Amino acid sequence: MKPLLKETVEIFDFKGLWDVHSKCGLRIMQKDDKYIIIVSELYQDNPGTSITQATCSLAKQVCEAYSLPKEEIVYIEHNPDMNSKLSFYDEEFYLVTFGLNNDNFSNPQWRQLTTAEIKDFFNDENRN
Amino acid sequence: MKFKLIYPKWNKLPGQTTFNLPPHGPVVFAASLPEYVDISFTDENVENINYDEDCDLVGISMMLSTQVKRGWAIAQEFHRRGKQVIFGGISTMLHAEETLLYGDSVFLGEAEGRMEDVLRDWERGELKKIYNFMNNHPDVTQVGPARRDLYKKDLYNHKGVQMVDLFHASRGCRFSCYPCAVSYLGGRSFRPRPVEKAIEELETIDNNRLFIVDNSLAQDKQWEEELFKAMIPLKKQWISHTIDDDPKILDLAAQSGAWYVYQAVFDTSDYIKERIKRYHEHGIAVEGTILLGLDNQTEDDILRLIDFLLEINLDLAEFTVLSPFPHTKAYDDLVRQNRIFDHDWNHYNAGQVVYQPKHMTPERLQELYDYAWETFYKDESQEEKMFKLFTTVMLREMEKGTYIPRRRELVNKSFGKDVVRNFAN
């Protein structure tokens, strides 16, 4: 399948586990009163922690860097297509839901999004 | 200052030939300790720990996930005796949060150039809870030579035959392979040791047989070529993971004593078949490493793969099931899909299924894993195949004049224990 998300809007530098310097792709879209945050794994170009290992901390760092209200975000992890023969490196999107305690995200739960759900997000963006 | 360095034991996989190799991590770490430190090393796989030995500080070095629970228990024993414990090593880094609960201190990263400061903190009674040098790597020229003088060599001898010595020529990895955590542990850039430094260390090793433990030497052809060229005069025989599939490199590897390589066999393609053939054409034997349980494998795929292995003349095969080690993409994927059902690190031994496979039940994957071992070694056992490889190396050493006969005084010993011989009637 053709990758849905071809490029990231920016590279976001973040502190991974043990404060290791880490990088991810970042795209933020606004839809109604929600902020859709899409963080992309960079694999070899990420010197540190993966977006999934750092999920709660990364979500917090993005919200704080862009002054986004933590209650109003839709947070999506994106594994870009790596043009690999191995299916583990196909493009995937996961919606992550969190608890929010004392301003910190906790207890992440992941749900893989279908192609239709993802297309919905981008169609809406194109209409804006 | 007396430093007691411990390498915890782990349960070996049932049904497989057990060889205890001298562990590499602890002696590499020991080389980073200041000269004034008096080190006593215990590998619990081959000897018991003397908890009452006089010491000032205890270091626990862990490589495998299957060592961490034992390492934590050892720390508790020393705490009962009023000793402080610092943890380090690969699996300390993989399981750092939990290990923090059991250690007075946890060292993350590579130790070269760091330990003077750590020990100074300890002397002042100011040992930090965490020494975090993740991704803050020391200059690779500072690495080695490892303190192999700390080994009790006779404990790594099986019936008079000395086990291979371990050696590493590089750190880091530029690949991010699906089940592997090396790029997390050592960084995502390949950091080869200067060839002259590597050779300097190799010259100090009193063993003609080596295992070069780098997870892939095939990351910088020019360096690889220079390394192999420089190794030729040493007349060692060596085992390694993958090397470059290039006629010039393979030729130099053979000349420098490549004995056998571990090669991942991940499909039934002609590419794999040809690759193994090329190793063989250069006189290099191949131990196939076969990972079972990936999401792209159905039962039929696994059965076909096992049949394929029998056709391609592998010298040895090692089967594993996917173990989703923390800090790998495999772990991330399975966590997100809520498919990991067993979080007991003792079961993360690459032989036990701890997650829900995509195309079969965990029980069925476990059966296929057992079937793979049985089928591959049905006509010729693992011991027989190993003996063949051993014979090859002996003949080569005899040709080169480097062969050392087995030590007769140890023929009734295996890793320090008496050999029990069961003679038939």
Q: Is residue A29 part of a domain?
A: yes
- Residue spans of beta strands (DSSP E) within chain A: 10-15, 21-31, 34-40, 73-79, 92-101, 104-112
> Across all residues in chain A, what is the average pLDDT?
88
Does A47 sit within 8 Å of B188, measured CB to CB?
A: yes
Nearest to B295 among A21, A53, A87 (CB): A87
Whole-number Å distance between alpha carbons of A24 and A43: 9
What's residue A127's pLDDT? 47
Whole-number Å distance between alpha carbons of B70 and B331: 22
Whole-number Å distance between alpha carbons of B145 and B172: 18
Distances (CA, A) of B294 to A10, B191, B345, B356, B359: 33, 30, 20, 10, 9
B329 Cβ contact partners less than 8 Å away, ≥ 6 residues apart: A50, A88, B176, B178, B179
Q: Which domain covers residue A51, as residue numbers?
A: 10-127
B188: which chain A residues are within 8 Å (Cβ-Cβ)?
Answer: 44, 46-47
> How many domains does chain A fold into?
1
Banded pLDDT at B24 (limits 50, 70, 90): very high
Same fold, B2-140 and B164-400: no
> In the predicted model, what is the mean pLDDT of residues B11-30?
90
> Across all residues in chain B, what is the average pLDDT?
95
Domain edges within chain B: 2-140, 164-400
Q: Which span out of B133-137, B184-188, B394-398 was modeled with the highest average pLDDT? A: B394-398
Q: Is B370 helix (H, G, I), strand (E, B) or coil?
A: helix
B404 Cβ contact partners less than 8 Å away, ≥ 6 residues apart: B162, B208, B397
With a CB-CB cutoff of 8 Å, which residues 100-119 of chain B face chain A? 108
Whole-number Å distance between alpha carbons of A32 and B86: 52
Predicted confidence (pLDDT) at residue B202 exceeds the cutoff of 80: yes
What's residue A83's pLDDT? 80
Does residue B50 sit at the A interface (CB-CB below 8 Å)?
no
The closest of B345, B323, B319, B344 to B334, measured between CA atoms, is B323
CATH number of B2-140, picked from 3.40.50, 1.25.40, 1.10.10, 2.60.40: 3.40.50
Distances (CA, A) of A106 to A48, A54, A109, B239: 21, 11, 9, 46
Helix-helix angle B299-311:B362-376, to 10 degrees: 10
What's residue B176's pLDDT? 81
What's residue A4's pLDDT? 56
Q: Is residue A30 part of a domain?
A: yes
Interface test with B, best of A20, A75, A111 (most B CBs within 10 A): A20
Whole-number Å distance between alpha carbons of B185 and B143: 16
Predicted confidence (pLDDT) at residue B25 exceeds the cutoff of 50: yes
Helix-helix angle B247-255:B221-231, to 10 degrees: 30
Nearest to B132 among A19, A47, A87 (CB): A19
Does residue B132 sit at the A interface (CB-CB below 8 Å)?
yes
Sheet holding B316-321, edge to edge: B165-167, B209-212, B237-240, B258-264, B285-292, B316-321
Predicted confidence (pLDDT) at residue B65 exceeds the cutoff of 60: yes
Residue B340 DSSP code: B
pLDDT (tens digit per residue) in B203-230: 999 999 999 999 899 999 999 999 999 9
CA atoms B55, B56, B62, B67: torsion sign: positive
Burial class (CB in 10 A: 0-12, 13-18, 19+), B291: buried
What's residue B387's pLDDT? 93
The closest of B291, B235, B237, B300 to B264, measured between CA atoms, is B291
What's residue A126's pLDDT? 52
Q: ipTM higher than 0.90?
A: no
Q: What CA dihedral angle connects B173, B174, B177 and B180, to 10 degrees?
A: 20
pLDDT (tens digit per residue) in B243-301: 999 999 999 999 999 999 999 998 999 999 999 999 999 999 999 999 999 999 999 99
Q: Is residue A35 part of a domain?
A: yes
Predicted confidence (pLDDT) at residue B27 exceeds the cutoff of 50: yes
A89: which chain B residues are within 8 Å (Cβ-Cβ)?
Answer: 178
B126 Cβ contact partners less than 8 Å away, ≥ 6 residues apart: none
B130: which chain A residues are within 8 Å (Cβ-Cβ)?
Answer: 18
pLDDT above 70: percentage of residues in chain B: 99
Predicted confidence (pLDDT) at residue B13 exceeds the cutoff of 90: no
Whole-number Å distance between alpha carbons of B99 and A97: 28
pLDDT (tens digit per residue) in B82-107: 999 999 999 999 999 999 999 999 99
Interface test with A, best of B132, B134, B268, B327 (most A CBs within 10 A): B134
Place of tokens 């063993």: B207
CATH number of B164-400, picked from 2.60.40.1080, 3.30.750.200, 2.60.320.10, 3.40.640.10: 3.30.750.200
The closest of B8, B174, B191, B12 to B90, measured between CA atoms, is B8
Whole-number Å distance between alpha carbons of B192 and B172: 8
Whole-number Å distance between alpha carbons of B86 and B378: 46
CA-based Rg of chain A, rounded to a whole angstrom?
14
Nearest to B187 among A18, A47, A87 (CB): A47
The closest of B266, B226, B221 to B243, measured between CA atoms, is B221
The structure's pTM equals 0.93
> In the predicted model, what is the mean pLDDT of residues B320-325?
97
Whole-number Å distance between alpha carbons of B194 and B203: 14
CA atoms B188, B336, B341, B343: torsion sign: positive
Place of tokens 């592998």: B314
What's residue B301's pLDDT? 96
Given its phi and psi angles, is residue B235 left (phi above 0), alpha (psi -120 to 50 degrees) or beta?
left
Nearest to A52 among B135, B175, B332 (CB): B332
CB-CB contact of B151 with B22 (8 Å): yes
What's residue B19's pLDDT? 87
Mean pLDDT for each consecutive 10-residue tract of chain A (128 residues)? 63 94 93 91 90 97 95 95 81 95 95 90 59
Residue type, B70: R
Predicted confidence (pLDDT) at residue B406 exceeds the cutoff of 80: yes
Place of tokens 């056709």: B311
Banded pLDDT at B397 (limits 50, 70, 90): very high
Q: Is A10 helix (H, G, I), strand (E, B) or coil?
A: strand
What's residue B93's pLDDT? 96
